[in-house]
Structure 1
Amino acid sequence: TIGLVAATFALALALYLLIEKPFRSSYKSKLSGPEFGLATLSCTAIVMIISASSWAMDGWDWRLPESIRNITKINRTELDKYVWMRHDALNLKEGFDLSSKKEKILIIGDSQAADIVNMLAEGGQTTDSDIVSRSIWSNCSTFYVDDKDQDKFFTKVNIMTIQSPDLIEPCKVKMARAMDTKLLDHADKIYIAFRWNPETIDYNEKAFEKISSMTQARVYVFGRKNLSKSSIEIVADLGRTSGISHFAAQFKDEETKSLNEKLAKTKNITFVDLMRIICPDDSSCAVLSPEDRPLFFDTAHLTKDGAKYFGADIGSLIESSTRNN
């Protein structure tokens, strides 16, 4: 820090003496036109070489401790595939195995529901269950809208479909598939998870009421679980792993808090507050595994390590939420 402050003043003095002061004084340049052009090109080349070096070397990550560099190196493509893999596979199932004695669970939602599937699987909660998923794009913002409200919802309320009207019909198809009475009639439990949006939360409350009226299954609604920064960004900000849980607590997301508080008050559903295992107390949030692997690869999605870490507690969290409702 002292070195950077000293360099700042040194560079400021150099800029003043070599650029600002000469330009303020009227005099004839000692450089000819070609010489000035060559000097300019040389400066440009130096800047380009430095910039290219930084880009090629991941922002000169050698400046960071090796433990931090290992945390920040992730394969985003592979992580995106991991999030959706199980959810997509279960979405292909036509229905429950009615000959099975296993507990039948219907999971509805976007990538947040995919995270729930992964947590259940990594936590060993799926072996005794017959699970069917119904994948709905996050852009749809809900899993049900009454026919009389659909035009207003898709063209005046839901920002995503207002911006991309071509999503409206596919969203309707996905919603109808999720609300299939054959699935609702045979489900023992229904898990619903989205990255809930403030502008559509009132419509989702109506959707909870509708699905509860169509099934004897207990309906569980999982709240948002995101912080304002990913594990990787939080670690990079702190520059070390020690004390990271305490440091991460300052990145709790206010919108997540307010939406979860509203969902918790909704009738006819069992609310599951995922923030209870993400941030178990006011001054601590989990962003790294015991092996110092990132739990979130962006602000809202879990890595495989994250699914394993939180999957160890997801069963008990669901049970306690059931007792409290």
Structure 2
Amino acid sequence: MLRKAAWLLASMVILLSSVAAAAETSANNNLLVAADSKASGEYAFTQCRALQGKPFDTSSTKKKALIVGDSYGCDFLNSVLENKYLQDYQIRLRFIPYSCQTVVGDNSDKFIDAKDRAFCAQPERADSLERAKAQIQEADLVIFSARWKPEIAQELPQTIHQLGLKPQQKVVVVGSKFFGKITVRQYLRMSAEERKALQNEVDSAEAQKINASLAQHLGQSVVFVDPHSLVCGNDASCPVFTDDLNLISYDGRHLTKEGARYVGKMLFEHSALGQM
């Protein structure tokens, strides 16, 4: 009897060890897939490309939502789509690369580095606020989402004013985010508990200072959403993994598929976006 009990116990230990090993292998495989910058980068931009510059369907009874921004705008779009938010809207996007961020007006070129001006002037390669202005004025909901340059963030309240938006249009500005350096080799050596507790130190100037400026100057007519504060709190550190241990960002700036789902829930469940 004792021998049988010992055998059963040993069998259970082996089974549990096998299950744990399989779970760890699966988690590591998921981590490697998510951290693949080529695959995750393709995911990040696929929906962006599909909607870029696409006109609204005038025969649709749905309201119109327009996302205006750079690769962070693509992240926001993925966060919406992964969670099936804004289903009452037909969603479109105008992609303005980070290097081409500018303001509205005759002096807008001064906000673009000289080396980037030729690229940014080509409509087939880079959009602009001037080219997007008519569609912006057509939308019921306009969402500006970008990795804001400090000088563009400072000018944004005046830029929004100059776009000639109507009082009935809803305007949202999504602030910047940064999750710090992603070090996959280090994570592969960590236990599940260590990954769940892991916080990356981040440069406060990267997101927090810009977001603080936006929050202070945008005014009451614009809804401001601070991703850094919602995901990371007020600390100079951010989680690397979701609660169920999926990698949030593959490069510290852009979201994985699971990261988009995670961040989207944070934004819509804990800000005024949930009422849109």
- TM-score of the superposed pair, with normalisation by structure 2: 0.76
Cα deviation for residue 234 of structure 1 reads 7.1
* Larger proportion of strand: 2
Matched residue type, 1:304: K
Gaps of 5+ in 2: 1-23
Change (3 A) 1:297 1:210: same
Q: Give the aligned partner of residue 105 of structure 1.
A: 65
Q: Percent identity?
A: 26
Matched residue type, 1:153: F
The answer as to whether partners of 2:65 and 2:143 remain within 8 angstroms in 1 is yes
Q: Give the aligned partner of residue 16 of structure 2.
A: none
Structure 2: distance between partners of 1:271 and 1:207: 15
The answer as to whether partners of 2:100 and 2:116 remain within 8 angstroms in 1 is no
The answer as to whether partners of 1:220 and 1:272 remain within 8 angstroms in 2 is yes
Change (3 A) 1:173 1:278: closer
Q: Give the aligned partner of residue 78 of structure 1.
A: 39
**Pairing 1:253–2:211 present:** no
Cα deviation for residue 111 of structure 1 reads 0.6
Change (3 A) 1:69 1:131: closer
Cα deviation for residue 269 of structure 1 reads 2.0
**Alignment of structure 1 residues 295-314 onto 2, 5 Å:** 295-314=248-267
The answer as to whether partners of 2:48 and 2:77 remain within 8 angstroms in 1 is yes
Q: Give the aligned partner of residue 105 of structure 2.
A: 146
Q: Give the aligned partner of residue 6 of structure 2.
A: none
**Alignment of structure 1 residues 142-291 onto 2, 5 Å:** 142=102, 144-147=103-106, 149-154=107-112, 161-170=113-122, 174-180=128-134, 183-211=135-163, 213-216=164-167, 217-230=169-182, 232=184, 235=187, 239-244=190-195, 246-248=197-199, 250-251=201-202, 253-265=204-216, 266-267=218-219, 268-280=221-233, 282=235, 285-291=238-244
Matched residue type, 2:162: K
The residue matched to 2:171 in structure 1 has which SS?
strand
1:112-136: CA deviation from partner (whole Å, max 9, x where unpaired) = 0000110000011143211111111
The residue matched to 1:191 in structure 2 has which SS?
strand
Structure 2: distance between partners of 1:222 and 1:89: 21
**Pairing 1:129–2:129 present:** no
Cα deviation for residue 202 of structure 1 reads 2.6
The answer as to whether partners of 1:232 and 1:297 remain within 8 angstroms in 2 is no
Q: Give the aligned partner of residue 90 of structure 1.
A: 51
The residue matched to 1:179 in structure 2 has which SS?
helix
Q: Give the aligned partner of residue 245 of structure 2.
A: 292
Cα deviation for residue 223 of structure 1 reads 0.4
Cα deviation for residue 224 of structure 1 reads 0.6
- TM-score of the superposed pair, with normalisation by structure 1: 0.66
Matched residue type, 1:207: T
In angstroms, what is the RMSD of aligned CA positions?
Answer: 3.0
Cα deviation for residue 98 of structure 1 reads 3.0
Change (3 A) 1:256 1:82: same
The residue matched to 1:285 in structure 2 has which SS?
strand
Structure 1: distance between partners of 2:183 and 2:143: 26
The answer as to whether partners of 1:106 and 1:187 remain within 8 angstroms in 2 is yes
The answer as to whether partners of 2:196 and 2:245 remain within 8 angstroms in 1 is no
Structure 2: distance between partners of 1:68 and 1:287: 14
Which 4+ runs in 1 deviate beyond 6 A? 320-323
1:60-118: CA deviation from partner (whole Å, max 9, x where unpaired) = xxxxx855575245332121111111121111412x22333323111101110000110
Higher relative CO (CA 8 A, sep ≥ 6), structure 1 or 2?
Answer: 2
Gaps of 5+ in 1: 1-64, 155-160
Change (3 A) 1:241 1:134: same
Structure 2: distance between partners of 1:244 and 1:100: 46
Cα deviation for residue 225 of structure 1 reads 1.3
The answer as to whether partners of 1:104 and 1:131 remain within 8 angstroms in 2 is yes
Cα deviation for residue 188 of structure 1 reads 1.4
Change (3 A) 1:131 1:210: same
Matched residue type, 2:213: K
The answer as to whether partners of 1:106 and 1:189 remain within 8 angstroms in 2 is yes
Structure 2: distance between partners of 1:283 and 1:201: 20
Cα deviation for residue 231 of structure 1 reads 6.8
